[in-house]
Structure 1
């Protein structure tokens, strides 16, 4: 009891005297020599460390500035590191009067860049998965001391236990599907209370740590390396709009304006059209950008320079540490636009082969294209620097058009009109295209569990311009489960990913006959697309829909692909002469994906509710 009282007294005296001990956190935890950026911001956190001042006496390393903030427990250091500085332990001396101590900060040697940070493009096929819902390969990390929520498989709104080991165990399955890239929803620590449930990963409580229930930083890095060894790529999901309410910052914010005041700005209005709207009110703009996403996600203020630098550097740290090939930036249109433009520019300047896709959930092409790098017909001076956007307008056109009766503006005409507005994009072939994802109903369910419409949708996905993304389970034509909330209905676990599952969809024996049939169809389509340069780089030429049929081509010099869709319930017959401007340029045709020879005659017959695809060559 006496010893404990003395300890408390010493702590109290230290706090009042401004004396600190070594920081409890340094972020980033380490850095590298010869980085593509010379500036390094260090965020030091520890009791009263803001009263200290740093000095560095290493040739080639200069301390540009140091910033104490509202909380006395932070100190921000800005270092300029010359490219001549080798990997080393960098001593940083901190002094406050007579009190002093030294931090030994590690500058590591960079790894060879070959095979890392490759970017992704229209030659790729992206597999999107939610790690918690894919497979549980390590039961020992289901419950972790210090993390509030364990696995509860009786409740789909809670953690299910999927992890990095489970993903690693099934890389053969993903590669065999014909996927060339994997996008994982966030793996950052989400130490949320069970009442909220942070299984999705979008409420980060530590931006430098993989959630230990999923794995570790080291196991994530190894996963990226293992994916690369198979000739595939990895896309990391990041969020700079918000953090989780239980992020360690929230108990001691560095500055008063680190997050937006929810009492003043409330919650976002989710209207992504506002930034591109020339008539938008300031009130609505403030609600979009400064309002919290949900009560459990504090909204970050990227106009705070220290925070903006922190976030940009965090991205660069993960790219360098893990070797990832791209980033999918969540809620891209919700932060300050000028910050997102700066972030994108700095990341792509540091890693020129890299790629970024921003999640821009809007309904119209005009508002989607606003966010792509240097878009035509934008006269407000904004340029996002963003190469790729998520093509929600095309997704909605496919999903809703296939459900509707055909008309001038309905049914397959919706897909036609989506393509017809491609002039608004800087480069529509850089759009990430999809027919469902983790925030939408599964496409098979959305289309009334109609297998024919499902196959038409998938055919459009693989043949349209852009970078196709497939949501996990789509290869099995997954529908919905009638439990949990809406999100959980389409975020099922993969049967066989858990030791106590009654069957495994990762094996032919564990799948139903229908699942094996659909899987075979999709594998054939995926591997066919991988070989088609016309689908990767060819221009799109389309013909207006006619009586519920729609025809378009992808054309690249000596090869082309013809896509003929019949959305009706009856056999349709097309006059070949209508498409002579393309067909007359090619002498050979084969049916995709099987490759059987096909002779183009005066008429082309289409089966009801089907997509007919031809490979054309000279």
Structure 2
């Protein structure tokens, strides 16, 4: 015990505070009426395990777990057996009470278990809160948090916050987005680069530079009033090295520790394909899963039952507390997959309609599909993830190639078509997150030199194919960012108008430049049209192999049909409509939804160069 903690003190950090008998209780409160009535309560304080934990009102402790570190006790109770709204956790030394905490069991909101979550009817708007809008300048820096605001530093904290998002919900709603995904907003108290939020230091507390737990809940409620949803970015794979539990580990196996590494650190090899490689070497698989994402991000051991229960309850706590509309889980394949299957099942058992999308950054449909719930690919490997949704990184990878490559047998728009030929692998095709960029990738408008034509083709595609489209803040006004030259900070630029000192406020359409207007108006028209289109949300698809750089596909159901044409050529193209007779039979004309023009469906159709057409077919 002493040896472990001496090593950890040297490697990560030492406990730099004088502890009380009772420092923390997590979760701080819970709810009656959960499907799983068992509640694990973490109780933390100086040498707390050397004392007795007693609950008031004759409440029975079902299980009590003590670990290597005497500063922790984990108690389990059955909430169905507790008939009082509040009870007291008492820490007793002999007959003396040396610490106590009043624990509340709240009543759930009506319909809580059946809350609505994001689906293919939604469009997800991804925001990096520190770079979006500063609604409360008073919280830019906080005395209790290490890194202070400095907008002149590309990788520093710039001051964006929850209040800034709340004040710009009209903009997001008018754009046509219906779900908002925020990169992590829980406390990240690392010394530098804390703005991205992925090295969290307190899983139950919103970072005070973003606001409060109450403001986070207000954001969710305000979205719900607009029939919109808040999606939390959840991190199970790693925490920040300044996390209070990392500083004083409950047990050495709380994280993955490498005795031959510097300060316990060995970097992941990032080869998560080893998860399903039946021929993978043990060492490669170990470094993929147990290796740290970075030096300041200790790798969490989900195989430890106490860790898994902590992560599960924390996710449920936020869903219930903030009335969340979904979770996006970071670096999903880097976690222990068996443990995460239990994690996902526990959440969806509690909330049957709840959606969770995992970041499955792999490049083939088989590798991605294996992570989706009830996947036959996963079942071949004897695995069911219980994860409802996955991210279509194959489509993401092929989209810029399709638009940039010179057309040939296996290059150009055929890359797009080939992506969709693997759709049979997915058990829930409409529950894929489709995108062409995010906060970790090159900006689309950088790749294509802020060419609105390339943006329009890409947005048309993700908005009309199967799945849930996700767009990244700022691209709807043409924002750029060069990841190769400027690093992550450059693809995470401040939204113009989010700060009082900004010379331009692009949140106001009337203040947008003509170039910004072209991006914005196209996005707004397309996404708002998509809202009411069941044929796009859940319709069937018929693809036609691209010819001469033109990709044509139809979305259809029993009530309506939509023809999508994407012409990636530098010149206008004339389509012979006879080729599409099986999907055009019975239709005599169509209406192009962006231009509003009526299009006769007779012998041929002219498609302008570098242009997408979305045509509602009419009889």
Q: Secondary structure at the match of 2:218?
A: helix
Output the CA distance in 2 between the equivalents of 1:450 and 1:263. Answer: 51
Is 2:39 aligned against 1:43?
no
Is 2:92 aligned against 1:95?
yes
Q: Deviation at 1:481?
A: 6.3
From 110, 113, 123, give the equivalent of 2:111: 113
Is 2:396 aligned against 1:400?
no
Is 2:210 aligned against 1:220?
no
Residue in 2 aligned with 1:138? 136
Matches within 5 A, 1:453-602: 453-480=454-481, 485-602=486-603
CA contact (8 A) 2:587 2:601 kept: no
Residue in 1 aligned with 2:231? 235
Show structure 2 runs of 5+ residues with no match.
Answer: 1-18
CA contact (8 A) 2:358 2:387 kept: yes
Q: Secondary structure at the match of 2:552?
A: strand
CA contact (8 A) 1:87 1:109 kept: no
Residue in 2 aligned with 1:272? 272
1:546-566: per-residue Cα shift (whole Å, max 9, x none)?
A: 121111111111211111121
CA contact (8 A) 1:34 1:86 kept: no
256-265 or 406-415: bigger deviation: 256-265
CA contact (8 A) 2:588 2:602 kept: no
Q: Deviation at 1:593?
A: 3.0
1:385-436: per-residue Cα shift (whole Å, max 9, x none)?
A: 1111011101111122111111222111111000001111112211000011
Show structure 1 runs of 5+ residues with no match.
Answer: 1-19
Is 2:331 aligned against 1:331?
yes
CA contact (8 A) 1:544 1:551 kept: yes
CA contact (8 A) 2:504 2:511 kept: yes
Residue in 2 aligned with 1:424? 425
Residue in 2 aligned with 1:210? 206
1:486-511: per-residue Cα shift (whole Å, max 9, x none)?
A: 11111010111011111110113421
Output the CA distance in 2 between the equivalents of 1:520 and 1:507. Answer: 12
Q: Deviation at 1:594?
A: 4.1
Q: Secondary structure at the match of 1:598?
A: strand
Output the CA distance in 1 between the equivalents of 2:603 and 2:112. Answer: 52
Q: Secondary structure at the match of 1:344?
A: helix
Output the CA distance in 2 between the equivalents of 1:335 and 1:585. Answer: 51
CA contact (8 A) 1:133 1:493 kept: yes
Residue in 1 aligned with 2:179? 181
Output the CA distance in 2 between the equivalents of 1:558 and 1:301. Answer: 50
69-78 or 583-592: bigger deviation: 583-592
Residue in 1 aligned with 2:7? none
Residue in 2 aligned with 1:247? 243
Is 2:77 aligned against 1:76?
no
Residue in 1 aligned with 2:54? 55
Q: Deviation at 1:115?
A: 11
TM-score (norm 1): 0.93
1:446-477: per-residue Cα shift (whole Å, max 9, x none)?
A: 12333222211111111111000010001101
How many residue pairs get aligned? The number is: 595
CA contact (8 A) 2:113 2:350 kept: no
Which runs of structure 1 show a deviation greater than 6 angstroms over 4 or more consecutive aligned residues?
481-484
Structure 2 vs 1, CA of residues 358 and 483 (structure 1 numbering), >3 Å: closer, same or farther?
A: closer
Output the CA distance in 1 between the equivalents of 2:113 and 2:584. Answer: 40
Matches within 5 A, 1:355-374: 355-374=355-374
TM-score (norm 2): 0.93
Output the CA distance in 1 between the equivalents of 2:316 and 2:106. Answer: 15
Output the CA distance in 2 between the equivalents of 1:63 and 1:589. Answer: 68
101-110 or 164-173: bigger deviation: 101-110
